[in-house]
Chain A
């Protein structure tokens, strides 16, 4: 079974500082990997995803993530935090061997706070 661990339920950074949100997964095969962002009282918006190919993935709003198979990690980064980045971030995985019915497996989420 797959699982996702997000280290740190809450991360606080200063505006302009580097954002690093950690995600490690457990899977018998390299999974498909996703990062979603959720603003208060809203659904989830896809930030970026990795399926195959280049391991450094760039997403929206200046975020990027790198798939590291040896470390079973898919950490999310942004060079300079903006106040509007404050939100809940979820890492998710899916099994590439699955079917269209295979759901995402989510981590518990990391709440990002940005301090002015």
Chain B
């Protein structure tokens, strides 16, 4: 089946530093990837939609200068949290859609990245 990986799975950083999270589709090509944020015991909140070779589309209220998204290839999207602060601590999850399967098909989710900013 389709597999999406994320790296790292855990990251602890100091306030003010930047953190990069990678999302890879391992056995399929993903024209579109989505980035979500999840707070404890809550649902997923869509942050942005990432399209290969173009600028990401951010949801209202998400700072595009703080959460930099790059989707340089059909198998890799990155989320960089710039100048991280404790309130950015969260669980970040990406998902990818197999563009060959047609848009209505499943989104495959990565295992998530737990970010803790001290």
Interface residues of A (CB under 8 A from B): 32, 34, 36, 41-46, 49, 51, 90, 94, 96, 98-104, 106-109, 111
Contacts and interface: CB of A to CB of B under 8 A. Distances in A.
B107 A104 contact: yes
Please give me the 4 A-B residue pairs with the lowest Cβ-Cβ distance, nearest first.
A100-B103, A43-B109, A44-B109, A43-B111
Interface residues of B, number: 29
Interface of B: 4, 6, 31-32, 34, 41-44, 46, 49, 51, 57, 91, 93, 95, 97, 99, 103-112, 114
A40 to B, nearest CB: 10
B42 to A, nearest CB: 7
B112 A100 contact: no
Nearest to B2: A46
B118 to A, nearest CB: 19
Contacts of A102: 103
A41 B57 contact: no
A100 B109 contact: no
A36 B95 CA distance: 12
Contacts of A99: 103
A100 B32 contact: yes
Contact of A101 (B32, B43, B109): B32
Of A41, A45, A46, A103, chain B has the most CB atoms within 10 Å of the CB of A103
